[in-house]
Amino acid sequence: MSLICEPILPNFGAVCSGLDLTQPLSPEEVTQVTDAMDRYGVTVWRNTGMNDEQHVEFSRNFGYLERVPKRPDGQKMRLSCRELFDASNLNLEGEITRDPAAIEYRKGDRLWHTDSAFLEKRTSYSILLAHEVPPPGAGGETWFADARTAYDDLPQETKDRIEDLVGVNSLWWSRKQAGADVAEEEIYERPMARHRIVHTHAGSGRKSLFIAAHTMDIEGMDKAEGRQLIADLIAHVTQPKYTFSHNWQVGDLVIWDNLATMHRGGDYDYNAHKRDMRRTTVREGTEPHLMETGDDPYTALFARSPRSVDINAARDAGR
């Protein structure tokens, strides 16, 4: 079978079909997918019929999968394996969570961001599969923005100004933006990751902006000036002309390249509708040393989270 791609915006996003993602892909088929991703940044696959295991196996074609932290007390998790990141609004029993910490944690996903920008090892693809979604018209869509075309369109003067700048990224910063009660001094004491805000996207050779709700400061720049620049760049990338939204149906799979896009969750009534979304998260690069199977920095980072932004709290929800 071969891949069919229907573009969503002229340069960005495509609805793809023609491959059975429940089955192992040949190397040629994997290349068809990565070529489509390099070109479009986001690919949408309708009605895939995939289960958890097929989701994880498909994702392994693209590199090492980040693993969510083990629960410190060995309690069970809602999802079957640590390669599945729980992006739902559900507790361990599969009911809508009422835990304020879990709800607060998820609010951060409604800010424009790139996944795991707060880790030193960046994430390439995020691969999100819908298991249960709000009814039609009730929201819960996901928005995507084209960071490469937005970069292309910047005035040359801005490009020159930002070319060598380094962003300082923190998970807690984005959670603070979403309303979590974390003091700024506390954020500076926690792990932060430094990434250049302009980089060349390996698969396409195009330049892209790498900024996110996690980007707190610009290294070496006055704090207020840096934050204004970050806000201006996010506003630039997320203009309507660079964005589209995906309205989910059960079985839909969406792959986005965090190194070429930004994304955010759309609003919906969190307390009224179950939304069961599960994500695999691929680490950038496929060199052997990146493929180790032990705990990764993700685990260590979350093990030290304060309760107000604690991923374990999100998972413990309702207990």
Helix H segments across 201-273?
A: 223-237
Rg of the chain taking only CA atoms, in angstroms? 19
Options 123, 124, 126, 174; binder of ligand OGA; rule CB under 6 A = 126
Instruction: Give residue for tokens 């929201």.
Output: 139
| 91 makes contact with ligand OGA (CB under 6 A) | no
| 131 makes contact with ligand OGA (CB under 6 A) | no
| 178 makes contact with ligand OGA (CB under 6 A) | no
DSSP, collapsed to helix, strand or coil, labels residue 273 as: coil
| 214 makes contact with ligand OGA (CB under 6 A) | no
Cα separation, 270 vs 295, in Å, equals: 32
Rounded to a whole number of angstroms, the minimum distance from the CB of residue 157 to Mn ion is 31
| Run of H or E including 194 | strand 193-196
| 109 makes contact with ligand OGA (CB under 6 A) | yes
Rounded to a whole number of angstroms, the minimum distance from the CB of residue 313 to ligand OGA is 17
| 115 makes contact with Mn ion (CB under 5 A) | yes
Rounded to a whole number of angstroms, the minimum distance from the CB of residue 254 to Mn ion is 11
Rounded to a whole number of angstroms, the minimum distance from the CB of residue 89 to ligand OGA is 9
Task: Report the candidate in 82, 108, 95 with the shortest Cα–Cα distance to residue 317.
Answer: 95
Cα diameter, the chain? 55
Each residue 61-100 as x (binds Mn ion by CB under 5 A) or -, in order, gives ----------------------------------------
In the bound state with ligand OGA, the residue whose beta carbon lies nearer, of 40 and 248, is 248
Rounded to a whole number of angstroms, the minimum distance from the CB of residue 97 to ligand OGA is 14
| 252 makes contact with Mn ion (CB under 5 A) | no
Q: How many helices (H) and strands (E) does the chain have?
A: 10, 15
Rounded to a whole number of angstroms, the minimum distance from the CB of residue 55 to ligand OGA is 13
| 279 makes contact with ligand OGA (CB under 6 A) | yes
| 123 makes contact with ligand OGA (CB under 6 A) | no
Own/partner pairs, 47-51, CB within 8 angstroms, 24+ separation: 47/249, 47/251, 47/252, 48/21, 48/22, 48/129, 48/251, 48/252, 48/253, 49/22, 49/251, 50/21, 50/22, 50/129, 50/251, 50/253, 51/22
Residues that bind ligand OGA (CB under 6 A): 87, 109, 115, 126, 128, 142, 263, 265, 277, 279
Residues that bind Mn ion (CB under 5 A): 115
